Every structure is written in C-alpha cells, then in structure tokens.
Amino acid sequence: MKKAVLLSALLFGASLYPTFSQSVGTQKMELVRKIDVSGHAEKEVVPDEIYFNVSLREYFKDDKNQKDKVGISTLEKQLMNAVAEAGLPKEALSISGVGGYQNYVDKKKKPSTFLEAKQYELKVTSPEKLDAILAKVDSRGVQYANVNRVDYSKREELKKQVKIDALKAAKEKAAYLVAAVDQKLGQILEIRELDENIQYPQPMYKMANVRAMAVAESADAIPDSEVQYQKIKIEYRMQASFEIK
C-alpha cells in the first residue's frame, strides 16, 4: 500500500515539472531603451483676493465722563452696510473673534466700564475697497485693519497649467537630447510629480497698518494706503520617462 502511494506521488510530481519548466522557458527579458528627464515651469500672478483683519471696539463720545457710548452693534451695522454698498456679498465679511477691554478714567481709579470689541475677516479685491468701506464706519470705532493673507481666485487652474508646462518642458528636453545622438523619441512610459512650490508673500506696506488706531474725527483725514504687491509664485517640477526608438 505504501509503495502504491509513493508511486502515485512521484507520477503526480513528474506531470507538473515539465509544465513549470515550459512556462519559465517562455519568459523573455525585454530590454527597453529609455530616457529619464525632468521639466520645470513657473508662473507669477498678482493676488486678487486680499483678506484683512478688521477690529471694531466700543467707545464713549465723552470719554472723560464715560457718556454717550457707541455700541458694538452700531459699529457692526455700519460695517455690514458699507460692505453691502461696496457690492460685496455677505460671505465677504465674517466674525473671527470677540473680546473687550476695561475702560479706565485714570490710572488711580478702578475701571468702571467694560467695552466690547469684535474682530472680522474681510475679503476684498483691492485695498481701495477697504478704504471705501472703512470710510463709512465711525473712525473712532475702528481699532485697526491689517492684512491677514492674500490669494489668487484661479489658483487651481493656474497650478494645472504650470504642471502641463513642466511636462512639456520635460518632453522638449528629452527630444533634443535623443536627437543629439541621432535617435528618435518614442512613447511616454512614466510621469511623476517631483516638487510643488507655492509662495504666498504678504503685501509690503509703506504704512504698517491701514487706519491703525484711528484717532481722526473724520475718516477722510486718513490718507489712502499705498501698497507694493509681491506676486504669488507657483512652480512645479515633473519627471518623465520616454522610450527611445
């Protein structure tokens, strides 16, 4: 019985072996001649979305006697109306913080009143828009307004185009390199994205803040801001492998 089982196992193994050898024997090592190159592209654009931090705070018209308080609701309404009159959507203005401060009559006396303050983020397309908006808000209620960040509205479309340009640059490089050795460029074999670099510089102001700590009785007394913009820079590096015919 044991001999019969052993014989069956040997016969089964023998029947598999030629098939395995045949499959290995049919494999071929194909040598693909190729060239690996990288391409680089970059673009600069002027930001068209400017996000300002705006802070409003309550105050007394008669600060010495702490009378005739201008409340935060009044200042906020002025700001919201100014945003609407500037043709901006409601979404352009959002609350980013709420706080307050103690109002002292003098250093020797204890604070008698707590005055509320609110911070907002305002999205505009130019600093001139901000000037026009804040000109319609009680200037004594504007604590400060400064740049938080900048962006470009068609950033994703721009990133796509820069990637395409980088890939085209890689193909152009591969083409003239193989042509230098009397060869021709074949089909593309592989594409890889190497680097992404996006720089968002902040605008450099000749004035530190726009309407910072407003003290003038009229907003018209505050000079317009002068802005020197640095451009947003987007660059990509792509790697590609091409067949050499």
Give how far Cα 163 sits from Cα of 84, 171, 194, 200, Å. 38, 13, 10, 18
Residue 103: the pLDDT is 67
For the cut 60, the answer to whether the pLDDT of residue 203 exceeds it is no
Q: At 96, which helix (H) or strand (E)?
A: strand 93-103
Mean pLDDT of the chain: 78
Q: What's the CATH number for 31-47+153-204+224-245?
A: 3.30.110.170
Same fold yes or no, 31-47+153-204+224-245 and 49-151 = no
The rounded distance, in Å, linking the Cα atoms of 208 and 234 is 27
For residues 104-121, average pLDDT: 75
The rounded distance, in Å, linking the Cα atoms of 168 and 15 is 55
Sign of CA dihedral 106, 109, 115, 117: positive
pLDDT digits over 22-57, tens only? 444 445 567 889 999 999 999 999 888 989 999 999
CB count, 10 Å around CB of 123? 19
49: nearest Cα among 117, 109, 119, 127: 127
The rounded distance, in Å, linking the Cα atoms of 132 and 221 is 13
- The structural domains of the chain, with segments of one domain joined by +, span 31-47+153-204+224-245, 49-151
For the cut 90, the answer to whether the pLDDT of residue 210 exceeds it is no
pLDDT digits over 67-112, tens only? 888 899 999 999 999 999 999 999 999 999 888 777 666 656 665 6
pLDDT greater at residue 99 or residue 166: 166
For residues 165-192, average pLDDT: 95
Residue 131: the pLDDT is 85
Q: Which of 51-60, 116-125, 210-219 has the lowest mean pLDDT?
A: 210-219
Residue 110: the pLDDT is 60
- 8 Å CB contact between 208 and 147: no
pLDDT greater at residue 46 or residue 170: 170
- 8 Å CB contact between 242 and 174: yes
Residue 169 identity:
A
| 100-104, long-range: CB < 8 A, 24+ apart | 100/57, 100/58, 101/57, 103/60, 103/63, 103/66
For residues 121-150, average pLDDT: 89
- 8 Å CB contact between 121 and 52: yes
At the fourth CATH level, which superfamily is domain 49-151? Ribosomal protein S10 (3.30.70.600)
The pair of three-digit structure tokens given for residue 172, joined into one six-digit string: 């152009």
